[in-house]
Structure 1
């Protein structure tokens, strides 16, 4: 679970949306230590997992079951982490809760607007504050045991040891004419070869490659005069790439045969392999290492927390 997903699950707005049912002993789907997770909580969490542009009524039973499993896992993880944080002595002061509450009130314009929004979600203001407090508690756990910042020195050391990871492979800017071999036609190869030779004769007479691509090519790039743009090495079929690498800028290949037909390519431009400098890659590297390390730490905490918890899942037995 990366931190993006972590906050997606545990950010205040979502905690608000999965506030606990009034009667927690009714329709219990799981139990974490002394806390009952209700069917109502599960249903609300499922709705949050359904993409906003997806019509709820169109969710299949199979997809619904998948979402319920994911939603219940999120809810169990949340309860496990809350108990873990409390055992470690993390607490949220009244001052901290009040400060967070004020941020929400400001975001909604005023307290009455916030209450109206909560009413739509069928929850009281007290329930909202309870959920907000729990979110702050998990945030404290994250700040103390999960969050990781990398120094400039650490980033440079990683870069130097892994320079091969920051290389951009050579790129080829190509134009293409594809003469298809129709597999349903016994004479498909002969016809494709004949057309390829016809195109080559015209090219040797100086006719425009792009115009011939528009007229003869069976590839979708014909609408752009055969322009494929920049292609990284390794993206083309081996016979085509092998010939493309040999070409100089402006040169045109002889027809290249594959099982699909014949290809004629023109090399427009070739860019050499490039090593990104540390400055060019630093911010991206920082984000990637941070996400990787924080995911690892969170997984370790969850593993420990679950060992310390009694988890009963009734939902999967239904």
Structure 2
């Protein structure tokens, strides 16, 4: 298949509405000294437990007991910062190796998230939001079961469990606060219509191109002679088409892809093609056979069958989608406004860095 040339570009979506994955930082902080009994035993959606091999070493005790920050009077330990740092690096960077150029940015991001977590928990307590006790109990039981055979768990269980519950309660508080803040009510029909009119780009179908291709596939690693042979063959095919041979017939006979359809690739949206190919196609005239060009997968002859200009969809067709987008926009704004307000009035003091993170701090 013409994969590398005509593949969809997928965007990354952050599906968690809060600041971090449920229970991730909490369990990392509390179980840093415990071995991971079995990753295979965990459910696919449950965060893995990172185990810092030397977390309990004597040389780290002073560092881990040090204070990293004081936020509205609450002390954040250096160990909590270090584990949050390691977790983010492992999640974001290949093999847990962070480029030196991004180290300062990651530090600032961790500091920001720690502040946000503290002020959100305080706000949840102020509003006395209801927590999900059943979910907390289930999570507690799950971790207790998973680490039941770990000697260090048995040795530290009575000390760890109260702190684990405290952290899980905070996670539940933030989740409940998130739900409460985002209960902004459904927008009216008039508001949805206004949102539709003010954001035409959200409801406009992009330009569509219907292309046909004759591809003479070549392994990218092939020697120059093989590529030159394909170019020569493509030019010969192009000459026969210009002389009267039907493009569809030539595609059925010679093309490595879409041959059964006479080369017809169907409709493609702008953005589905590599920029270098898109720029060439932008100059094509509908119905014209274009000279052979090199692509990632070989030598291709293109024919532009149809070009459909961008079209804004009728409101009746997208009213439901418009309502969803407007509601989500309002929910996100309500949450962001709350976080910004709480952080702005927070009293924060960072004591300083007592350790030096390495570029491979998250590497196993």
TM-score (norm 2): 0.58
Counterpart check, 1:71 vs 2:110:
yes
Which protein is richer in helix relative to its size? Answer: 1
| Change in CA separation of 1:16 and 1:115 when aligned onto 2, cut-off 3 Å | same
Q: What pairs up with 1:44-123 in 2 under 5 angstroms?
A: 44-49=83-88, 50-51=90-91, 54-56=94-96, 58-59=97-98, 66-86=105-125, 89-92=126-129, 96-97=130-131, 100-106=132-138, 112-113=144-145, 116=148, 119=153
Q: What pairs up with 1:130-145 in 2 under 5 angstroms?
A: 130-145=166-181
Alpha-carbon distance, 1:300 to partner? 2.3
Q: Which fold has the larger relative contact order, with Cα–Cα distance below 8 Å and residues 6 or more apart in sequence?
A: 2
Match of 1:190 in 2: none
Deviation string, structure 1 residues 100-124 (Cα, Å, up to 9, x no partner): 3322444676684277499499871
Q: What pairs up with 1:248-267 in 2 under 5 angstroms?
A: 252-253=288-289, 255=291, 265-267=302-304
- Rounded to whole Å, the distance in 2 between the matches of 1:294 and 1:74 is 20
- Rounded to whole Å, the distance in 1 between the matches of 2:140 and 2:31 is 22
- Rounded to whole Å, the distance in 2 between the matches of 1:20 and 1:303 is 31
Deviation string, structure 1 residues 172-197 (Cα, Å, up to 9, x no partner): 22124699xxxxxxxxxxxxx99887
- Rounded to whole Å, the distance in 2 between the matches of 1:317 and 1:280 is 58
Match of 1:304 in 2: 341
- Rounded to whole Å, the distance in 2 between the matches of 1:72 and 1:20 is 21
| Change in CA separation of 1:277 and 1:6 when aligned onto 2, cut-off 3 Å | same
Say which one has the larger Rg: 1
- Rounded to whole Å, the distance in 2 between the matches of 1:67 and 1:163 is 36
Q: Is the 8 A contact 1:170 1:271 kept in 2?
A: yes
Q: What pairs up with 1:165-176 in 2 under 5 angstroms?
A: 165-176=202-213
Structure 2 unmatched runs, 5+ = 1-12, 33-60, 217-230, 294-298, 356-364
| Change in CA separation of 1:47 and 1:196 when aligned onto 2, cut-off 3 Å | closer
- Aligned residue for 2:164, secondary structure, equals helix
RMSD: 4.7
Q: Is the 8 A contact 1:10 1:78 kept in 2?
A: no
Structure 1 unmatched runs, 5+ = 180-192, 215-221
Q: What pairs up with 1:11-22 in 2 under 5 angstroms?
A: 11-18=22-29
- Aligned residue for 2:65, secondary structure, equals coil
